[in-house]
Amino acid sequence: MNAREQLRMLILAVLGRQPEHGYAIAQAINTRSEGLLRAREGTLYPALHALEAEGLIESQEHEVAGRTRREYRLTEKGRAALARTRRDWQAQVGAVQAVLGGNA
């Protein structure tokens, strides 16, 4: 899985818990990974737009403290994609663990 695919998976996972705006998605990825993973603005927003164009997420603007924020949420198609991505990721992790853990 390349970095682009990984970011897409992480975004879907964050939105699988609850709808969020872009900055909160980036913060959730950083916090949950204990700082090991970062979603930078230059890659996060293009990924969000691509996921929305594919129908995996949808967005809606909200007024918060006088500012307009765009909140993203998973669609049903996005939930199915997240489930597939999780299975694929677990298979990859299992394969790597089998190689690393094997006695040669």
Could you read off the pLDDT of 19-51 as tens digits, one per residue? 999 999 999 999 999 999 999 989 999 999 999
Strand bridging mode 57-64 / 67-74: antiparallel
CB 15 within 8 A of CB 74: yes
Where along the chain do its domains lie? 3-98
Q: What is the pLDDT of residue 102?
A: 62
Confidence of residue 103 (pLDDT cuts 50, 70, 90): low
CATH code for the domain defined by 3-98: 1.10.10.10
% of the chain beyond a pLDDT of 70: 97
